[in-house]
């Protein structure tokens, strides 16, 4: 049989190994805790729409056949809550996807035309005004096209959801980064809440967010995607005046 030889380690080396080992266990513990918290929060979020669906299904069973009005009301409610669950589960998958570090599909992206195309689609979908400002037509970055589009959509969707006016988007050329700055003139975010909005499921106003179809996961997903791209997302806001969200992405370095 093969023998495993154990080398003689010095006390210092053993102490170092123990410290590293403890740190690894600590990290695993924290990850496990985060996962447990996620499962508990996600179940909680799914509970409300499922309860509504179940009560309407019960109502349909008892009185649906005789009463057309009740039938219609129940079908509407079930459809709308089922749509909500569908959107939520899609978000859960997006979140899981963006917590992994490695699966980016990087290509060179010409930002001005990329943004313009997305904004044109969103203007039609939301029937709202999005004004796009940019000076540098040559800005390019390396990014995963689908994921970048997702971050932009999450940010614009929020700007439109929490305001009623037009929004402005600026594409800016900073020293190391390309910056997409989304400015809305809506309800804003209280100063002491800004650090919380990137937490999973966190919503400043739960009822309002639910009414607009929010899940509280958008910004967590956006933050993960920005991190995967070695970028950053920054928020400035004044309650009652509006919000600015900046997406900072490393520029492609010129080789000439
Ligand atoms: P949601 O799906 O609820 O919009 P997000 O994770 O995208 O979830 O955002 C978290 C919370 O941050 C929102 O519920 C809202 O309270 C706040 N928020 C995000 N963007 C804006 C904005 N542009 N203006 C005002 N509040 C915002």
Instruction: Provide CB contacts within 8 A for 137, sequence distance 6+.
Output: 112
Residue percentage of the chain with pLDDT more than 70: 94
Contact (Cβ atoms closer than 8 angstroms) between residue 194 and residue 237: yes
Residue percentage of the chain with pLDDT more than 90: 77
- pLDDT given at position 200: 92
Ligand 1 atom with the smallest distance to the CA of 220 is 6
The finding on whether 114 has its CB within 6 A of some atom of ligand 1 is no
- pLDDT given at position 202: 92
Nearest to 229 by CA among 151, 161, 173, 155: 151
Q: Which residue's structure tokens are 């009185």? A: 63
> How far apart (Å, rounded) are the C-alpha atoms in residues 17 and 11?
10
Q: Which residue's structure tokens are 């939520």? A: 88
Beta-carbon count within 10 A of 132 CB: 17
Residue pLDDT, tens place only, 162-201: 999 999 999 999 999 999 999 999 999 999 999 999 999 9
* Shortest-distance Cα residue to atom 23 of ligand 1: 159
Nearest to 76 by CA among 91, 161, 84: 84
Instruction: Provide CB contacts within 8 A for 22, sequence distance 6+.
Output: none
Q: How far is the CA of 156 from the centre of ligand 1 (A)?
A: 11
Ligand 1 atom with the smallest distance to the CA of 204 is 16
pLDDT band at 8 (very low <50, low <70, confident <90, very high): low
Q: How far is the CA of 157 from the centre of ligand 1 (A)?
A: 9
The finding on whether 203 has its CB within 6 A of some atom of ligand 1 is yes
**Ligand 1 mutation pick, 41, 168, 219, max ligand atoms within 8 A of CB:** 219
Does ipTM top 0.95?
A: yes
Q: Does residue 206 or residue 17 have the better pLDDT?
A: 17
pTM of model > 0.90: no
Q: Which residue's structure tokens are 């992994």? A: 100
pLDDT band at 102 (very low <50, low <70, confident <90, very high): low
The average confidence (pLDDT) of the chain is 92
Q: How far is CA 161 from the centre of its chain?
A: 15
């Amino acid at each position: 049989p093969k023998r495993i030889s154990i080398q003689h380690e010095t006390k210092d080396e053993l102490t170092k190994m123990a410290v590293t080992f403890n740190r690894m266990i600590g990290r695993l513990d924290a990850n496990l805790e985060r996962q447990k918290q996620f499962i508990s929060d996600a179940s909680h979020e799914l509970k409300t729409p499922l309860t509504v669906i179940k009560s309407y299904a019960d109502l349909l069973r008892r009185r649906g056949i005789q009463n057309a009005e009740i039938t219609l009301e129940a079908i509407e409610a079930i459809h709308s809550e089922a749509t909500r669950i569908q959107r939520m589960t899609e978000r859960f998958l997006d979140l899981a996807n963006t917590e992994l570090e490695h699966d980016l599909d990087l290509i060179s992206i010409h930002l001005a035309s990329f943004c313009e195309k997305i904004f044109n689609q969103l203007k039609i979908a939301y029937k709202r005004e999005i004004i796009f400002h940019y000076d540098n037509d040559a800005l390019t970055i390396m990014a995963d096209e689908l994921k970048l589009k997702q971050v932009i959509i999450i940010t614009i969707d929020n700007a439109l959801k929490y305001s009623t006016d037009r929004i402005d988007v600026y594409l800016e050329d900073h020293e190391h980064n390309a910056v997409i700055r989304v400015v809305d003139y809506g309800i804003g975010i209280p100063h002491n809440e800004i650090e919380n909005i990137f937490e999973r499921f966190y919503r400043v106003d739960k009822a309002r967010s639910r009414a607009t179809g929010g899940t509280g996961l958008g910004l967590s997903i956006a933050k993960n995607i920005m991190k995967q791209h070695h970028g950053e997302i920054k928020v400035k806001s004044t309650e009652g005046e509006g919000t600015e969200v900046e997406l900072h992405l490393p520029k492609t370095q010129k080789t000439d």
